[in-house]
Amino acid sequence: RVDGRRLWASLMDLAAIGATPKGGVCRLALTDLDRQGRDLFVRWAEQAGCSVRVDGIGNIFARRAGTDPDRPAVMTGSHIDTQPTGGKFDGNYGVLAGLEVIRTLNAARVQTRAPIEVAVWTNEEGSRFTPVMMGSGVHAGAFTLAHALAQTDAEGVSVQQALQAIGYAGQAPTGAAGTVGAYFEAHIEQGPVLENHGKVVGVVTAALGQRWYNVRLTGMEAHAGPTPMELRKDALLVAARLVAEVNRIATVRAPHGRGTVGSLQVFPNSRNVIPGQVTMSVDLRAPDDVQLLAMDQDLRAVCERFAQQSGIAIDIEQVVSFPPQPFAPPLVESIRAHATDLGYSAMDVVSGAGHDAVYLARVAPTAMIFVPCADGISHNEIESAEPEHLEAGCNVLLRAMLAAAEI
């Protein structure tokens, strides 16, 4: 079993780097604070006897050798960059749970046949540089290293420049070909399902597919007083109906359909002017392609119908797409079995959010372990998790990795 207090102490040590007054962490990707966090991880990994390599996109791999040199690594990991007003656990937990696995194996003098690796993926959050999940995306070949290196932040600094500035433009080759035998990622749930069901371990069977859209509605600006209701072309009125439809489109696909309008802007946004234009985002998620495509078609049909009925022009543009990603059934089953074995209350869940594991699943058998976070709140300085829950998830991770790596 892992040492829950050691895990917690490491989480708190890492959280000190970029700590915010409200108890959160601000450690944006490839900043000097990120360097300090990386340096701390590398020091800890080397103290634990690992060899450390860094690849061209700055992903860090800490390796504990196995007894069989021909075996691909059994890997775990996550990220240590945070949102601008992020918490102590999102990402950091998955990295330090991996380190705790290695420390536990060391303390117990356990040799595994396959090597064990802990990965720290570069820029998962996407706050400073887009796209999100950059390091794992390059690793999985979702986009090229050159594409990733050329991205710039709001100040015009490129990923390449930022990597060089903090000394993490590594020499190891990028890409996963044959190097990963199995990938596990432990993460806080970032949602309320486990807490709501009173469960400690979430057995993640899949990640929802995502489609993000920009929608623009164009009506006719007019004075709110002298314009009779029947002569209006109110873009906000139609946008409001679309918000309700996005909700319906997801709600009828319970329990895993999701539909969200997170962002909406009104023009000219003046009290006594009928809105002439509205722009809004739509975020649709579903566990399988059939549902996701049906939701996409439903959305487009609703837009077309509303445009015809109202005389409001509706433009819809898809801006992001992730296919649904099932995780590897044998690894999922292993997590489920070990959680039960260890006496933890567990339930199957899906990951509603994107994670590095979603990219890794494209190139290696992959599964995830969730633990609850308070009120399901994440991407927030008040993000909070119970030490016992973090320990529980780490024990399941240890068992599942041992099973995959073999003794």
Ligand X SMILES: NC(=O)NCCC(=O)O
Which residues bind to its own copies, rule: CB under 8 A? 189-193, 196, 208, 210, 212, 221-231, 234, 236-237, 239-241, 243-244, 247, 250-251, 254-266, 269-275, 281, 283, 285, 351-354, 376-380
Q: Which does 156 bind (CB under 5 to 8 A by kind): its own copies, ligand X, none?
A: none
The string of DSSP letters for 198-260 reads T-SEEEEEEE-EEEEEEEEEE-B-EETTTS-GGG-B-HHHHHHHHHHHHHHHHHTTTTT-EEE
120 near 41, Cβ under 8 Å? Answer: yes
Q: Which does 139 bind (CB under 5 to 8 A by kind): ligand X, its own copies, none?
A: none
- 207 forms bridges with which residues in the sheet? 325, 351
CA distance to 84, 256, 287, per residue, from 363 (Å): 30, 25, 19
Cα 28 from chain centroid (whole Å): 15
- Does 225 contact ligand X by CB under 6 A? yes
Query: Residue 318 burial (CB < 10 Å; 0-12/13-18/19+)?
Result: middle
- Per-residue mark of binding to ligand X, 133-162 (x: CB under 6 A): ------------------------------
Stretch that binds ligand X, among 30-38, 140-148, 293-301, 351-359 (CB under 6 A): 351-359
Nearer to ligand X, 123 or 334 (CB): 123
Q: How far is the CB of 376 from its own copies (least distance, A)?
A: 6
b vs e for 329-349, b when ≥16 Cβ sit within 10 Å of the residue's Cβ? eebbebbbbbbeebebebbeb
Sign of CA pseudo-dihedral 368, 402, 385, 61: negative
Q: How far is the CB of 188 from its own copies (least distance, A)?
A: 10
Separation of alpha carbons 364 and 342, rounded Å = 26
Residues 234-263, interacting with ligand X (CB under 6 A): none
Q: How far is the CB of 210 from ligand X (least distance, A)?
A: 6
DSSP designation for 327: P
Separation of alpha carbons 17 and 13, rounded Å = 7
- Does 103 contact ligand X by CB under 6 A? no
- Does 272 contact ligand X by CB under 6 A? yes
- Per-residue mark of binding to ligand X, 176-195 (x: CB under 6 A): --------------x-----
- Per-residue mark of binding to ligand X, 57-76 (x: CB under 6 A): --------------------
Question: Which residues of this protein are in contact with ligand X, per CB under 6 A?
Answer: 132, 190, 225, 272, 353-355
